Each structure stands twice: as structure tokens, then as C-alpha cells.
Chain A
């Protein structure tokens, strides 16, 4: 069955960096755009970024553009989110999900806390 397993969440100071990973199984990974979505109590659900099957097409929410980078490794069936210049308001549960526009399947999430 479809499984998405996120990892890499941690407590980090403002200005720091983290790399989130999402390991996918149970579906043809190379058929789908992959996505990162985050959730906070205050701002709710926010679609952070997506990446095409080949990795050549990416897009970001304005709030993270220039600081976050989405990438994927189709051999490892994994998608990544490199987060630099972290800010307190990046604190959230980060979910990996697919497909684009439809978000049929979600992982369990990984928690990122940005705090001094």
C-alpha cells in the first residue's frame, strides 16, 4: 500500500538549516509530482513546494522561496526539502504528499521547531 515516511524534523535556532526527507513506497514514484505541505495552529495548512517527476519543474510558496529547495532522488524513491535561513514562523508539522493539486496521500508528518 502507499506509504510516505517523513524524517529530519528537529529543534533548530533561527537562521539555521534542516533537511527533511520523505521515503515513498507502494506506488510508481516516477509517475507523480511530489509535494511538501506544512501545518501550524496559527496559519493552518500551507502548500510549501512541489516538484515534477523529473525534478525539472519546481515551485514554491512566496513565504519560502529563496530559502527552501525541494529535490528528489527517483532511484531512492525519496523527496527532500532543504530549509535554510529558518525563521520562527517556519515552525510547523511538515507533510509529504502526492499528487499535485489533489493530495490524495499524506505522510504522518515531521515536526520542525525554530526557536532561540
Chain B
């Protein structure tokens, strides 16, 4: 199975400051259709995960512009330009290229 490793596993950020989460995979994620299926999700306590970014860098509808995704190959990053209070929770990356599709362990974000 493709192992997805996130770092850091926890992040304490001051409001308005940037944050960055790394996601590394044990295999490259380019699928046969040419797409790279690396997605980012945010989960607040007691809620289902919500997708923020799909295929590396495409922001979902309604997702604030402060969220951006980048990367290629086996190395990907989610950046938050200015953390807001509503960003607390756990962020997950997930690869949908190689079955079984797998998630990272999650990065818990809290406000300092």
C-alpha cells in the first residue's frame, strides 16, 4: 500500500499567521489518465471530513483563498496564508491514485 506521511502531526499557530503542512507518499501519484490524485480535507470535531483541495491544487467551491495546495511526484504541501479561528481541527491528505486509496495520519491545528 502507498503510505502517506504528514508532518507535522500537530501545529499551534497564532491567528493571522501562515501555516504549512507537508504530505509525502511512498510512490508517485500520477495516474494513467494524467491526473495526480492528491486531495486535502479538513475535519472539525464532531463533523465529517470536508474536502478543501483536489488533484493537488484545485480549491473546492466555497473554500477560502487562504488555502492553497502544491507539489508533485511524492511531495505535496497545503498552505494556509493566514490562519483563522475556524481553521482549528485536523487536516488530512489522501492519495486516490493507487488502490487502496490511503490517507495521512492527520495534522491537528490549534490556535496559540
Q: Name A's B-contacting residues (CB within 8 A).
A: 44-47, 59, 61-62, 95, 100-109
Contact = CB atoms under 8 A, between A and B. Distances in A.
Interface of B: 31, 37, 39, 41, 48-51, 54-55, 60, 92, 94, 96-97, 99-106
B102 to A, nearest CB: 7
B94 A61 contact: no
Contacts of A109: 48
A102 B97 CA distance: 10
Interface class of chain A by DSSP: loop
B54 to A, nearest CB: 5
14 contacts: A45-B49, A45-B94, A45-B103, A47-B101, A95-B48, A100-B96, A101-B31, A101-B96, A101-B97, A102-B51, A102-B54, A103-B41, A104-B54, A108-B48
A108 B100 CA distance: 22
Nearest to B102: A47
Given A61-B100, A104-B60, A44 B105 contact: yes
Contacts of A61: 100
Among A102, A104, A106, max chain B CB count under 10 A is at: A102
Contacts of B37: 101-102
Given A102-B39, A104-B60, 20 more contacts: A45-B92, A45-B94, A46-B103, A47-B100, A59-B99, A61-B100, A95-B49, A100-B96, A101-B31, A101-B37, A101-B97, A102-B96, A103-B41, A103-B51, A103-B94, A103-B96, A104-B54, A105-B51, A106-B49, A106-B50
Nearest to A99: B96
Contacts of B106: 44-45
Contacts of B41: 103
A44 B54 contact: no
A34 B54 CA distance: 17
Contacts of B39: 102-103
B96 A106 contact: no
Contacts of B54: 102, 104
A107 B47 CA distance: 10
